[in-house]
Structure 1
Amino acid sequence: MIDGLVGGRLYGEAQIRTGQNGRRFVTCKVRAATNDGDTIFVNVIAFDDDVQTALLALSDADSVALSGTLTPKVWTDKNGLVKPALDMVAHKLLTAYDGRREADE
């Protein structure tokens, strides 16, 4: 298990799902830039109610920073190239909107 912090932009919209046990969770994808200029996709799942609410309030391409548990993965694109990816169970989330709300108070 790796605890990590990932910053990037939401790729698409967050989706509400329901597990076999009836528990609600939210999934989304985040595009994060790497040091060499490539992009890595982070597959995010959130069980925490506050994180779920915040993810659902975001739109495609909104900036986000997430902390949580990371699992490295690989996937193969349509051209047969193996690409890195990360799976994250998000525990905390920060967006640009959070800073605006605090400044308004």
Structure 2
Amino acid sequence: MIDGLVGGRLYGEAQIRTGQNGKRFVTCKVRATAGDGETLFVNVIAFDDDVQTALLALSDADSVALTGALTPKVWTDKNGLVKPALDMVAHGLLTAYNVRRKRQALGGDAASQTPHAGDDLDDPL
């Protein structure tokens, strides 16, 4: 298991599921861009209630940053090419909405401020 941070855009809509034990969880896909410009898909599952609620509030193509446990995988596309992918059990997330809300709570104007390195933008991360 690798503890990691992934930033990207939601690919499709998050889905609510129920496990065999009756416990609810949420799944989604995030499209991230690797350093070489190649697209990487992250299969996300969330058991934390706050993370589930936040994922369900997002729409297709919304930006999101997620923290959690990563597992590297590979898959084969329809042309037979082997491609990398990641599975993530998400423990925390940050969206543009969280940043605006935090800045407003601190008395700032979200439209005129930009984040600085080291800013504590949200408690879940």
Q: Aligned Cα RMSD in Å?
A: 0.6
Q: Which protein shows a greater Rg?
A: 2
Which letter maps to 1:51? Answer: V
CA distance in 1, matches of 2:103, 2:74: 40
CA distance in 1, matches of 2:7, 2:51: 15
Normalised to the residue count of structure 1, the TM-score between the two structures is 0.98
CA distance in 2, matches of 1:9, 1:77: 21
**Deviating 4+ runs (over 4 angstroms):** none
Matches within 5 A, 1:46-65: 46-65=46-65
Q: How many aligned positions are there?
A: 105
1:66 is the counterpart of 2:77:
no
Normalised to the residue count of structure 2, the TM-score between the two structures is 0.83
CA distance in 2, matches of 1:59, 1:98: 15
Matches within 5 A, 1:1-105: 1-105=1-105
Residues 71-103 of structure 1: per-residue CA shift (max 9 Å, x gap): 000000000000000000000000000011122
For CA contacts below 8 A with separation 6 or more, give which structure has more relative contact order: 1
